[in-house]
Structure 1
Amino acid sequence: MLRKLKYLIYITVGTSLGFALFFFANLMLRHLQATGDDLLEERRNPSYSQIENNKIKIKPLKRQKGPRVWVKLTKNWGSETIVSKRNEFPGYNDPIPRKGLIRGRRSKSRNSVGSALAIHPNGVWLTAKHVVEGCKKIILQAGVKNGKPANLVPTKVVTHPHADVAVITSPRTDYSRRPFKLVTRGDNVGDAFHIGFPSGKPGAVYSRFIGRMKVRRGRSRNSVEDLLVWAEITRIPNISGSLGGISGGAVVDRTGALIGINSAASVRRGRIFTSRPSTLMHVIRLSGNNSPAASQNRPVISELTGEKYPSFAKAAIQDRRVVRVICRRRL
């Protein structure tokens, strides 16, 4: 409708005012075609049409050799076991506010649970800062014993001064896993897959990018972070309510590249907030480590779709690329 109006003004008025209105309508059309602030400058997830037209390469998921954990809880994951909880989100279509506040809550429990992901073959992990803050003891379940996750005590924890991200250094484990590769060119927009331990057990979420939001944690004015906002589409397993415990877990695009970590979620709106790649890169450098970078022309992984993502998530958890973190607040 706007396009027709623009040309009608140009043809009928034929005056300087007409040219001015034409120019204004053209600017309005360009603005409406944009998908969000600065999104046109960012790297987009490969579209399904690009893949179908063979413009994007596809490769199957490769599993690592070695002992696996969490097999009992994940062995039946598949396309038939994913569920949608959209009817449980009364605010699903609410607009995104420009700013938000996450109130710090003092946990009355002795322990809390989060997630972490490997950024080095053996011994360096990314997580959310709030997962490891205020802990008397941190336990990283990255080892294996009798087919079950074994506890490791970190040797070093480095946190970001303002953002909700941290790097954990742990003793070496029994084998070297494939680390996640971090994107180096802006934020990815499109689909995302979140992997971690909601409610302390293996889980994953499929979501779609909807915007950004500045979020402040607690009362400190210095803890403001620009987060990416995602709308949940489906999840696995079939659990309701909060995704608490998935914080610090991996967020990947359709190529399996790391595009963020889980930071917070809104139960009412069915949204997940994740840290940006630039924030992750900053804390990795602060820790004195380097993260492997994802190539620009990387192929899509065939299992990373809205129907098949449980296979990728299962592999990441069983192969200990994403692990559980336990915070003991009292000893």
Structure 2
Amino acid sequence: MRKFLFYIVVAALSLTGCRSVSVLSFDVWRPAKVTFPPTIQRVTVVSNSAEPSEKEGNRYKDVSGKEYTLVVPHDSTTYRLAECIALDLADAHYFPEITIFYDDSITLPKGLYPLLNDTQLAAIRGGADHTAVVSLDRTDMAVNMEDQILQDDWGGTALVTNLSVATTLVLRVYWPDKVEPTTQIVNDTVSWQAFGYTPGDTHGRLPQTSEFIQEVMTHISRRVRDLFIPHEDSVERYIYTSTEPAMSDAYDYWQQQKFTEASYLWEYVYEEMKNKTNRAMAAANLAVYNELFDRYDEAIGWADKAITLFQEKSKGNESVDVAMLEEYLHQLRVRKNDNSTLQLQM
């Protein structure tokens, strides 16, 4: 079920006079980047990655600008990350079965990042032929911490410390009926900030190493889940409002979630009125209305009409409305293309 949230944006688009815009937020489905065939009955996650480097890529800069190597110890980070990924995939209830391979009876390459061979894959699958193996092959975590002096309006100073962890994962998916695996790279960055008067103050307010590594693993695991599983994403769309009676009544219906009634009035404005601005606003709103019900061709058609009318009204000058609607048109085309993939995945 779609979730709707309405709120007014004040002067966000520099609209003046008797018209403005409101913002509609709702959830849409995004396809997974990797499509698993319906024959896959099990997905097994395995850690084939060395631990992230304790020093390489880790940096601390103090208030003087001097840089130091930051030592970040790891304790079974890659195994725990593989567990986190497996649990996230299982919690989505998308695949028939999710398992994680722990058995140390085979030696995985770790650190050299070569392909798993047939013997290793057979041991990981354990006789379950319709199993896709997700191998975590490389894990990089670059930790950066920097102290900076802040000065307030009264001449006072304070210290802020910024901490960020940029994570890069290299994953391979081994398919039961293909010789070559699929390689995917997943990136994510998590940041924290703390304020105080001394480095001891700010550093003490930041999460400890074990805490921020756990949070980083949670974030990157969700990225992996979205890579493999269709997922919801929140988008924002603009609804034009106006003091023109039909437009005003349509928006009243819209706020009551009487979307069809609102669309009838917008169609009336577009078909019967001569004012190009009102017609353009009505067309733009009809694009959003049709998108809500996954009618992408109709939505694209209405967005095109709105752009044409706003362009005619602006007479070749720059127009915020045109720029906004051209971006919206791009998003509609992306959603239309995504829809065919979603039909295969859902």
TM bucket, shorter chain: under 0.3
TM-score, structure 1 as length reference: 0.20
The structure, 1 or 2, with the larger RCO (C-alpha pairs under 8 Å, 6+ apart) is 1
Computing the radius of gyration over CA atoms, which structure comes out larger, 1 or 2? Answer: 2
Query: Is the helix fraction higher in 1 or 2?
Result: 2
